[in-house]
Amino acid sequence: MAWKTLLLSYTFACLENEESPIAVLGIPLDVSSTYRPGSRYAPQKIRDAACNIELYSLAAGTVIEDTGFKDYGDLVLPPGDVGIALDRIEFVTKSIVKEHAGLMVVLGGEHLLTYSVVRALKNNIDTLVVFDAHLDARNEYLGSTLNHATFLRKLVEDGTKVVHIGSRAYSKEELEYISGKDVKVIGVLEALKGEVDLNDLNKVYISIDMDVFDPSIAPGVSNPEPFGLNHFEFMRVLKKIFEKSSEVVALDIVELNPLVDVGDVTSILAAKIVIEASGLYLKGREVSRIK
């Protein structure tokens, strides 16, 4: 199968650059959402928001207008078939990695997509850093063993090293499971106090569930949870990840739900995160060249 036939064409931030080191892929996966479905509409909404804000990274202190983005568009997914959808995500991700050397940004979609993207990149990353209100480490949820509430457990079982930041909603089963596993949990209270140990990350994949933010500033999510992070607390940790890792290989933004957003504020925040991460990535590349 020609993998590019599985993609619909779009342009992030209305600024296409085929030579950009920053690739964008939309994955509108929305098959296992259980509270508020609608994350399938997020990739295009984030792109629209990015077209209407400045391409300046506050954390990196740099403008990225000249860099632009190489947007692969949105992956076409079969309705109702989780297995085929996950296989297709893994297949296309592997194909993109073969031709793109640089940062890969994935716009979701529900958090289950991270399972397939990480599997596709398993030979390229050492640590998965997850921002999320929830652990998503259940063995099964509502009779299903592969969904947005179980994906992280599946990755841990596959041997993935995980650092989990900003969590504040746990089940008894999840707490018992992660005890003794290669999972470092930095809960929201530790993150708020700046107690974030990020040593030995090496090559990193960053997964950002938008419900890590407090619902007062990011209402447009599928599973909101009170007492979350604010913009600057998040940015401080994100910047630290880029500084402490040897390379940020990929980043995804998931669980944004435009159907319940207010004034598109969550979509705009998601677009801003992509711009901030892109600026930090470019700054890191420049520092590496100087060294």
Cα(195)–Cα(275) distance, rounded to whole angstroms?
25
DSSP one-letter code for 186? E
Amino acid at 222: S
Domain boundaries, the chain: 3-290
Find the helix or strand (DSSP H, E) in which 275 lies.
Answer: helix 265-290
- Mean of pLDDT values over 78-82: 89
Cα(11)–Cα(43) distance, rounded to whole angstroms?
11
Cα(202)–Cα(34) distance, rounded to whole angstroms?
34
Cα(258)–Cα(265) distance, rounded to whole angstroms?
9
Q: What is the dihedral of CA 16, 278, 154, 187, to 10 degrees?
A: -150
Nearest to 71 by CA among 91, 53, 44: 44
In this structure, what token pair is assigned to residue 42? 């997020």
Give the three-state DSSP class for 175. helix
In this structure, what token pair is assigned to residue 80? 């109702």
Question: Which pLDDT does position 66 carry in this prediction?
Answer: 94
pTM for the structure as a whole? 0.96
Is residue 243 predicted with pLDDT exceeding 70?
A: yes
Residue recorded with tokens 């949990």? 185
Cα(85)–Cα(205) distance, rounded to whole angstroms?
21
Interacting residues of 4 by C-beta distance below 8 A, sequence separation 6+: none
Interacting residues of 184 by C-beta distance below 8 A, sequence separation 6+: 162, 163, 164, 197
**pLDDT, tens digit, 9 for 90 and up, residues 34-66:** 889 999 999 999 999 999 999 999 999 999 999
Cα(194)–Cα(187) distance, rounded to whole angstroms?
11
Question: Which pLDDT does position 142 carry in this prediction?
Answer: 87
Question: Which pLDDT does position 194 carry in this prediction?
Answer: 86
Question: Which pLDDT does position 41 carry in this prediction?
Answer: 98
Q: How many percent of the chain have pLDDT more than 70? A: 98
Amino acid at 221: V
Q: Please report how the helices 42-50 and 265-290 are oriented relative to each other, as an axis angle in degrees rounded to 10.
A: 70
CATH superfamily of 3-290: Ureohydrolase domain (3.40.800.10)
